[in-house]
Structure 1
Amino acid sequence: MGLACKIFGACFVGILFFHGSCVSDRAPNYSFMHNATSAPTISYYDYIIVGGGTAGCPLAATLSHNASVLLLERGGSPYGNPNITNLANFGATLSDLSSTSPSQRFISEDGVINARARILGGGSCLNAGFYTRAAPEYVRAVGWDGRLANESYQWAERRVAFKPRMGQWQSAVRDGLVEAGVLPNNGFTYDHINGTKVGGTIFDQDGNRHTAADLLEYANPSGLTVLLHATAYKILFAIKARPKPVAHGVIYRDASGAKHRAYLKRGSKNEIIISSGALGSPQLLMLSGVGPAEQLRAHNITVVLDQPMVGQLMSDNPMNAIFIPSPLPVEVSLIQVVGITQFGTYIEAASGENFAGSPQRDYGMFSPKIGQLSTVPPKQRTPEALAKATELMSNLDQQAFQGGFILEKIMGPISTGHLELRTRSPKDNPSVTFNYFKEPQDLQRCVDGISTMEKVIDSKSFSKFRFDYMSVPQLLNMTASAPVNLLPRHYNSSQSLQDFCKDTVMTIWHYHGGCQVGSVVDRDYKVIGVDALRVIDGSTFNVSPGTNPQATVMMLGRYMGVNILRERLASEDQAK
Structure 2
Amino acid sequence: MGLQWDLIGIITLAGILMFHCFAHSEKAPYYTFVKDANSAPEIAYYDYIIIGGGTAGCPLAATLSQGARVLVLERGGSPYDNPNITNMENFATTLADMSPRSPAQQFISQDGVFNVRARVLGGGSVLNAGFYTRADTGYVKEAGWNETLVNQSYEWVEKVVTFKPPLMEWQSAVRDGLLEVGVLPNNGFTYDHVSGTKVGGTIFDTEGHRHTAADLLQYADPTRITVYLHATVQKISFNYNNGTARTRANGVIFKDVFGVEHRARLNKNSKNEIILSAGAIGSPQLLMLSGIGPSEQLEAHGIKVMVDQPLVGRGMADNPMNAIFVPSPRPVELSLIQVVGVTKFGSYIEAASGLGFGYSWAQRLPRDPGLAVNQTDQPFMGSPEAMSEAAKTINAAASTPLRGGVVLEKVTGPLSRGHLELRTTDPNDNPAVTFNYFEEPEDLKRCVEGMNTIIDVIKSNAFLEFRYPTMSVRALLTVMLNVPVNLRRRHARAAISLEQYCIDTVMTIWHYHGGCHVGTVVDHDYKVIGVDALRVIDGSTFSGSPGTNPQATVMMLGRYMGEKILRESYSRRRK
TM-score by length of 2: 0.90
Given the alignment of the two structures, is residue 33 of structure 1 paired with residue 34 of structure 2, yes or no? yes
CA displacement, residues 288-333 of structure 1 (integer Å, 9 cap, x when unaligned): 0000000000011000000000000001111101001111100011
Structure 1 stretch displaced more, 270-279 or 98-107: 98-107
Given the alignment of the two structures, is residue 553 of structure 1 paired with residue 554 of structure 2, yes or no? yes
The AA in structure 2 aligned to 1:103 is: A
Q: Distance in 1 between matches of 2:319 and 2:94?
A: 22
Q: Distance in 1 between matches of 2:473 and 2:362?
A: 26
Tell me the residue number matched to 1:63. Answer: 64
2:80 partner SS: coil
The AA in structure 2 aligned to 1:114 is: N
The AA in structure 2 aligned to 1:343 is: F
Tell me the residue number matched to 1:6. Answer: none
Q: Distance in 2 between matches of 1:285 and 1:503?
A: 34
Tell me the residue number matched to 1:263. Answer: 265
Tell me the residue number matched to 2:14. Answer: none
Shift of 1:243: 2.1
* Cα pair 1:94 1:370 within 8 Å, conserved: no
Q: Distance in 2 between matches of 1:451 and 1:53?
A: 36
The AA in structure 2 aligned to 1:20 is: A
> Equivalent pairs: percent with the same residue?
62
Tell me the residue number matched to 2:304. Answer: 302
Shift of 1:87: 0.4
Structure 1 stretch displaced more, 540-549 or 469-478: 469-478
* Cα pair 1:230 1:252 within 8 Å, conserved: yes
The AA in structure 1 aligned to 2:63 is: T
Cα root mean square deviation, aligned: 2.3
Q: Distance in 2 between matches of 1:490 and 1:400?
A: 32
Q: Distance in 1 between matches of 2:398 and 2:104?
A: 29
Shift of 1:215: 0.3
* Cα pair 2:87 2:208 within 8 Å, conserved: yes
* Cα pair 1:74 1:232 within 8 Å, conserved: yes
Structure 1 stretch displaced more, 388-397 or 341-350: 388-397
Shift of 1:99: 1.3
Q: Distance in 2 between matches of 1:384 and 1:194?
A: 47
TM-score by length of 1: 0.90
1:100 partner SS: coil
CA displacement, residues 407-455 of structure 1 (integer Å, 9 cap, x when unaligned): 0010111111000111111001101100000000100000000000011
CA displacement, residues 74-129 of structure 1 (integer Å, 9 cap, x when unaligned): 01111031110110011212211121111110111101010111110011111111
Tell me the residue number matched to 2:179. Answer: 178
Shift of 1:368: 5.2
Shift of 1:20: 2.2
- Where in structure 2 are the equivalents of 1:141-220 lying within 5 Å? 141-220=142-221
Q: Distance in 2 between matches of 1:74 and 1:352?
A: 33
The AA in structure 2 aligned to 1:111 is: G
- Where in structure 2 are the equivalents of 1:145-544 lying within 5 Å? 145-240=146-241, 243-354=245-356, 357=357, 362-363=358-359, 379=372, 387-393=388-394, 401-481=402-482, 487=490, 489=492, 496-544=497-545
Tell me the residue number matched to 2:79. Answer: 78
Shift of 1:391: 2.9
Shift of 1:341: 0.2
Note closer, same or farther for the CA distance 1:96–1:400 as it changes in structure 2 (3 Å cut). closer
Q: Distance in 2 between matches of 1:413 and 1:539?
A: 15
* Cα pair 1:282 1:310 within 8 Å, conserved: yes
Q: Distance in 2 between matches of 1:312 and 1:43?
A: 34
Q: Distance in 1 between matches of 2:90 and 2:399?
A: 18
Q: Distance in 1 between matches of 2:246 and 2:484?
A: 58
Note closer, same or farther for the CA distance 1:43–1:449 as it changes in structure 2 (3 Å cut). same
Given the alignment of the two structures, is residue 20 of structure 1 paired with residue 23 of structure 2, yes or no? yes
Q: Distance in 1 between matches of 2:402 and 2:492?
A: 22
Tell me the residue number matched to 1:13. Answer: none
Q: Distance in 2 between matches of 1:519 and 1:394?
A: 45
Q: Distance in 1 between matches of 2:541 and 2:336?
A: 27
Runs of 4+, deviation exceeding 2 Å? 367-373, 377-401, 486-493
Structure 1: runs of 5 or more not aligned: 1-18
Note closer, same or farther for the CA distance 1:479–1:555 as it changes in structure 2 (3 Å cut). same
Tell me the residue number matched to 1:110. Answer: 111
Shift of 1:392: 3.2
Shift of 1:166: 1.0
Structure 1 stretch displaced more, 89-98 or 377-386: 377-386
Structure 2: runs of 5 or more not aligned: 1-21, 373-379
Q: Distance in 2 between matches of 1:46 and 1:336?
A: 40
Q: Distance in 2 between matches of 1:338 and 1:564?
A: 35
Q: Distance in 2 between matches of 1:386 and 1:447?
A: 30
* Cα pair 1:129 1:201 within 8 Å, conserved: yes
Q: Distance in 1 between matches of 2:320 and 2:387?
A: 20
* Cα pair 2:89 2:355 within 8 Å, conserved: no
Note closer, same or farther for the CA distance 1:301–1:136 as it changes in structure 2 (3 Å cut). same
Length, aligned pairs only: 540
Q: Distance in 1 between matches of 2:115 and 2:476?
A: 25
The AA in structure 1 aligned to 2:543 is: N
The AA in structure 2 aligned to 1:470 is: M
Note closer, same or farther for the CA distance 1:274–1:71 as it changes in structure 2 (3 Å cut). same
Note closer, same or farther for the CA distance 1:482–1:557 as it changes in structure 2 (3 Å cut). closer
* Cα pair 1:378 1:503 within 8 Å, conserved: no
Q: Distance in 1 between matches of 2:201 and 2:365?
A: 24
Q: Distance in 1 between matches of 2:247 and 2:398?
A: 62
Q: Distance in 2 between matches of 1:108 and 1:36?
A: 30
Shift of 1:208: 0.3
Q: Relative contact order, CA 8 A, sep 6+: which one is greater?
A: 2
* Cα pair 1:477 1:489 within 8 Å, conserved: no
Q: Distance in 2 between matches of 1:444 and 1:518?
A: 29
* Cα pair 2:111 2:436 within 8 Å, conserved: yes
Q: Distance in 1 between matches of 2:174 and 2:363?
A: 25
1:423 partner SS: coil
1:521 partner SS: coil
2:556 partner SS: helix
